[in-house]
Structure formats: C-alpha cells, structure tokens
Amino acid sequence: MTKLRERMIEDLRLRNVAENTIVCYVRNVRQYAEFFGRSPDQLDATHLRKYLLHLIEVKKVPMGTYNQKVAALRFFYRETLGQPAYVEGLCFTRKERKLPVVLSHDEVRRFLAALDTLKHRAILMTCYGAGLRISEALSLNVTDIDSERMLIRVRQSKGRKDRYVALPEVLLRVLREYWKAAKPKDCLFPGRDGVKPLTRQSVVHACHRALKTAGINKNVSPHTLRHSFATHLLEGGADVRTIQVLLGHRNVATTALYTHVSQATIRRTKSPLDRLSETLSAGE
C-alpha cells in the first residue's frame, strides 16, 4: 500500500466513515489515477475536469456512479492533499429518479426456491424477510439473531446506526436449519476462510443463477429483495413511518418512494375523473 493511499484511509477513518465507503472511495481514486497512468497527487484540476467529462460523455456512467466518484475525489483533494481549490465549484449531478424493480409474491417464492445452496437461501431470505441491505445481512453475527424476542440486531448500518428488525418465524426455521448444517461460529455467513463474511459478488452470482432457473426476466439484485419487502409491507397495510424505521431510512421521503411502486396503493387511489363522472351521472 502506498503512503498516499494509507494517508487517505487514515483520513477517512478519522472521520468515522464506514468501511464499505472507505473501500469505495479508495477504489474510485485508484481508477482516476489509472486513467492517466500517474499518481493522483500529480494530477490537478485540469486532469480532474478531463476525467469527469470522459465519464459523462464517453463512459456514460449512471449519475449515481458519477456522484460517487465526485464525492471520493472531492474528499481526496480537500482532506488528503489539502488542495480544496482543485475541486472548488465541483458539484454533484441530479440523479435520474427511477422506480425500483419489485418482485411479486409468486416471483419471490420461485426465486428463493431456485437458489442452489442453503447458505444463499438463508442470506437472501434474510434480505427479503427482514428488509436488510446485502451488506447488513453479510455483516450479521450469530449473536445478532435473538430467537427469544424474535428480533435481528443490525449493527452499524448505513449512517453508523444500530437498529432492530423483526425475525419472521419462517426465516428463523431456515436460519436454524442452516446453522445446524454450517455451524458458523461468529460471522453468521462466513466465506471460505470461515472468518470473514461471504463476498457480495458471490451472492450476486447466486442471484443470477436463481433467476435463470426460476425463469424470471427482471433485472434483479440482492437489493431488489429489500425493495420487494418494503413494497409488500405497504400493500399489506403497513404505514410509511413503520416501514421507514424497519428499513433504517433517515428521511421518510426515501421510504415514500414505495408508494409509487405499490400496485395495490395505485389501484385503491380513486381518480378525480371518477368523482366527476358520479356528479355528472347524478345530474342527468
């Protein structure tokens, strides 16, 4: 590890940044340096401008990806290099607002049944049954499953917050079956070394295999199960505030997005044209 990279990591840790964010920021700065084939401390505002234009005009990266890279480079120049002038006026772009992909109840059943290992089924059932992010599910320890109170403790999730979510009976049965077969010690879903968590990429690959087996033609990732959890709760009558707490959203406006996805909510909403039609009919 270079001294420059080590210093950036130290700067991020001093600001209590989550480990996943540290990995993301370091990777984005490394990619920036690789684009020019030079150390990033030898690149100035002119290089930065050229790189960002390349991302937008040539690579056509999604706006969320672009903003992620901007955040990493702003931190690097401001905090690690002490050159805030290089990123002065550098703004985030407005992200496209797209509705999340959601699976139907039947598609969730088919998808979970198609998973090829008990471990992958337990992980992805946890994402759906408790509404967890994949990073949260993979970070669970055995002691985070509280079968007496039927709760799951989610430690230091996004925003450095702990929270509790409900542990469904069906999920508890699957987790017990998995525990008897795998005997995990600390980390609930360890990788090959038995210590560190399973990688996100291995779960993504399992997702793709299950989708093919189940014949589901949707762009689905582990996060889709979290979207489906929230949407199905809303369709079942749960209020937005409760769903916000379960998902760990800081802002209720983020959770309100699911009201645009819920087909049941859409169908229950009466158009003003229907009311106008009733008035017109009464006046005939």
Residue 260 known to be catalytic: no
Specify the CATH number for the domain of residue 240.
1.10.443.10
Residue 258 known to be catalytic: yes
Of the residues 69, 119, 133, 232, only one is catalytic, namely 133
Question: What tens digit of pLDDT does each residue of 181-232 get?
Answer: 999 999 999 998 888 899 999 999 999 999 999 999 998 899 999 999 988 8
Whether residue 110 is found in the same domain as residue 80: no
At residue 271 the predicted structure's pLDDT band, cuts being 50, 70 and 90, is: low
**Distance of alpha carbon 81 from alpha carbon 84, whole angstroms:** 8
Q: Could you identify the residue written with the tokens 């409900």?
A: 166
- Residue 35 belongs to what domain range? 3-87
Of the residues 158, 163, 200, 209, only one is catalytic, namely 158
Residue 158 known to be catalytic: yes
Is residue 62 pLDDT above 80, yes or no? yes
Whether residue 34 is found in the same domain as residue 116: no
CA distances from 111 to 133, 161, 203, 230 (A): 17, 30, 13, 17
**Distance of alpha carbon 239 from alpha carbon 253, whole angstroms:** 13
Q: What is the pTM of this model?
A: 0.68
Whether residue 153 is found in the same domain as residue 123: yes
State the DSSP string of 15-27.
TT--HHHHHHHHH
Residue 105 known to be catalytic: no
